[in-house]
Structure 1
Amino acid sequence: MAKLPTVQDVARIAGVSRQTVSNVLNSPAIVRGPTRERVERAIAELGYRPHAAARQLRTRRSSTIGVRLDPYAGGVSGVVLDRFVHALTERASERGMRILLYTARTPADEIERMGDLVDGGEIDAVVLTGTSHEDTRTAWLQSRSIPFVSFGRPWRSDDGAEPAHPWADVDGAAGTRAATRYLLDHAGPRIAFLGWPAGSGTGDDRARGWQEELSRAGASGPRWYSEESVGLAREAAGAMLAGGSAGGSAGDPGVDGIVCVSDALAIGAHLAATAVGRPDLPVVGFDNTPAAEALGISSVEQLPEQVAVGVLNLLMGPTGGVVIRRSADEDAHVLVEPRLVLR
């Protein structure tokens, strides 16, 4: 069996000392850029991977990031977090880090679980999912000075200028702006939005993109509401398209297209349009799930793989191999622009 490459091999190829290689692996910020890049090229060329157990003993770090495994919820739009966790695991492995998945039913359960993992030296940092206003998990992590990044914003008005904590997210408003612009150009001036009830940070952000694009174009359209359900969305859109009421504005059968907050709602809207004799009414969803693809429904692709890269960059720097503590003046958020997939 071929001998695995060692730190000495990397040092020889890069023309540096063993200590310099160690610094690149464990404290990359202290190594000059050209030297660090030379060492990283040697690491890639040799396929070098630090021995996890030895590294943990030497650095007193676990080289592990904790992420909660969300319970299976079924439905149409549950694949984005799965893709994110898969991409995070792959990208972390490329940096010599591991992902530890844990389960928790409530925020309080998750705080207890994170405490056990940190106190036991099993994780160096945490990636949170499912953020919300006044998130008790973020406050607890900050009080313990535990490095973390969230997939999702804290949803405060000053998130961009002074983020409450490091986060990476998808620019939902940019996605619905692109969807609305496409429908305005190819369908007509009356574009509806089928979204979740007001109060959801993610949902309101996506509704904002639709409204901003309508305003820019001098166009208009009704906002309709539904819970996250294909059946409920079909009822809501069907009532509105038939001229009834579904918890939003008055019925409006004359819309030229519908932008939806999720693929589940887009599928419901498509079924409703078909039922009232408008099977060709353009509908655009959000998440680009296999179900939307199978039905030929256009959708906004979230690109969770790019979010995973952003999360690791915030935790470890662009090229680092260990979790770092960020200074207050560093950028603390990554906003990934999604792409519109047309069908």
Structure 2
Amino acid sequence: MAALPTVSDVAQLAGVSRQTVSNVLNSPDIVRPATRERVDDAIRTLGYRPDASARRLRTRKSATIGIRLEPVLDGISGNLLDRFIHAVTERAARRGMRVLLYTAAAPADEIDELARLRDGADVDAIILTATYRGDERSRWLTENGVPFVAFGRPWEADDLSSPQHLWVDVDGAAGTREATLHLLASGKRRIAFLGWPDDAGTGDDRRSGWRDAMSTGSGLPADALHALSIGVTNDVQQAQAATLDLLARQPDVEAIVCVSDSAALGAFMATTALGRTDVAIVGFDNTPVAAALGLSSVEQNMDVVAAGALELLLGADGSDIVPRDLSAGEAHRLVAPKLIVRSVLHLDGSAVGADPSLH
């Protein structure tokens, strides 16, 4: 097998020094056009390919963005991250950037992985996902000077508007508010919220939209709203059990706004088992599961989110991670979601009401 061509081979064929070849590869603007053309011709003739690893360690640039690949717990919620990663990868490629996926079991493990990626100059920046209150990953990245943008707000008052903490997020409160107002407009009043436990950041945000709409539009007192707010983990079976318990205690519940499509599936399974086809259910994320069941759901536009994340890292049309002075208002993007209204078709062939707003 013939040996691969080297920088020395290129230099000899072009009649220049090794340093000139290096300059053409790394800083072509400082080389005279005629010399640069001879080196480029030699590279094409020999089929020379630069050592990407050596170049990366020398320049500390990899044209790569790292994103954690999260575990898929129920096959539903993971669909959202898949769509986001696909959108980021596609848009990054148009800017000459690549995406590197990594895994980590816990935040401490992820920080170890981030340190390894930084030390090996494997990535130029990180896109954090699944942010939470007191997120130590963002603190580590900031303290170690690793550029990053978070998909999800920092949820800390001192970081929320910080120009050093870049973030893009979907306005979950606006989404659940729209869903709740839509149900109220259809005549529903006793509308429950099936969400995650308190202090979940994203879950609290989505619950607040439901609470705002119910406080102003349902006519129910605060204690009644408190009883209609249920907290469960993002698990289909737990959501089903919680819905069964809710309807046993409060059979007059007319609708349920859910924090996710996983929760909506659990609620749907419960209402179906009870024969309560009168209870309207709205999910969040607009996954294929919601579409298949005919459930209304709040859609997050992952293409817009991905575009916002890359714009914060690279600028409007840049192709390199470079430090930029940003003000608080420029350092984040809050994307408005959209309610997708559907009508559920049950096994007996009937839809829930002639008005599709009921589901």
Bin the TM-score by the shorter chain.
0.7 to 0.9
Residue pairs, 1:111-130, within 5 angstroms:
111-130=111-130
Q: Percent identity?
A: 52
Equivalence for 1:266: 264
Deviation at 1:146, TM superposition (A): 1.1
2:214 alignment partner AA = L
Equivalence for 2:229: 223
Residue 325 (structure 2) pairs with residue 319 (structure 1): no
TM-score, with normalisation over the residues of structure 2?
0.74
Q: Distance in 2 between matches of 1:160 and 1:117?
A: 26
Q: Distance in 2 between matches of 1:57 and 1:265?
A: 46
Deviation at 1:88, TM superposition (A): 0.6
Residue 307 (structure 2) pairs with residue 309 (structure 1): yes
* Distance change (3 Å), C-alpha of 1:52 and 1:307: farther
Residue pairs, 1:177-256, within 5 angstroms:
177-220=177-220, 221=225, 222-243=228-249, 252-256=250-254
Local SS of the residue matching 2:126: strand
1:129 alignment partner AA = T
Equivalence for 2:173: 173
**1:292·1:298 contact (CA, 8 Å) conserved in 2?**
yes
* Distance change (3 Å), C-alpha of 1:166 and 1:99: same
* Distance change (3 Å), C-alpha of 1:163 and 1:234: farther
CA RMSD of aligned residues (A): 2.5
For residues 138-183 of structure 1, give each alpha carbon's deviation from its aligned partner in whole angstroms, at most 9, with x where no partner exists: 1111111111011111112355444661111111101101100110
The structure number with the bigger radius of gyration is 2
Which stretch of the first structure deviates more once superposed, 160-169 or 115-124?
160-169
Q: Distance in 2 between matches of 1:178 and 1:159?
A: 27
For residues 279-314 of structure 1, give each alpha carbon's deviation from its aligned partner in whole angstroms, at most 9, with x where no partner exists: 132110011111111111111111122111111011
* Distance change (3 Å), C-alpha of 1:255 and 1:118: same
2:229 alignment partner AA = R
Equivalence for 2:18: none
Runs (4 or more) in structure 1 with deviation over 6 Å come to none
Local SS of the residue matching 1:79: helix
Q: Distance in 1 between matches of 2:153 and 2:240?
A: 30
* Distance change (3 Å), C-alpha of 1:69 and 1:52: farther
Local SS of the residue matching 1:146: coil
* Distance change (3 Å), C-alpha of 1:329 and 1:178: same
Count residues with an aligned counterpart. Answer: 288
**2:161·2:331 contact (CA, 8 Å) conserved in 1?**
no
Q: Distance in 2 between matches of 1:112 and 1:239?
A: 42
Deviation at 1:74, TM superposition (A): 2.9
Q: Distance in 2 between matches of 1:341 and 1:156?
A: 31
Residue pairs, 1:38-187, within 5 angstroms:
60-162=60-162, 165-187=165-187
Q: Distance in 2 between matches of 1:76 and 1:153?
A: 22
Q: Distance in 2 between matches of 1:213 and 1:158?
A: 28
**1:187·1:257 contact (CA, 8 Å) conserved in 2?**
no
Residue pairs, 1:332-343, within 5 angstroms:
332-343=331-342
For residues 94-147 of structure 1, give each alpha carbon's deviation from its aligned partner in whole angstroms, at most 9, with x where no partner exists: 001111111222222222222222222221111111211222211111111111
Q: Distance in 2 between matches of 1:135 and 1:271?
A: 34
Q: Distance in 2 between matches of 1:57 and 1:110?
A: 22
2:259 alignment partner AA = V
**1:241·1:276 contact (CA, 8 Å) conserved in 2?**
no
1:213 alignment partner AA = A
Q: Distance in 2 between matches of 1:159 and 1:177?
A: 25
**2:163·2:327 contact (CA, 8 Å) conserved in 1?**
no
Q: Distance in 2 between matches of 1:208 and 1:159?
A: 20
Equivalence for 2:275: 277
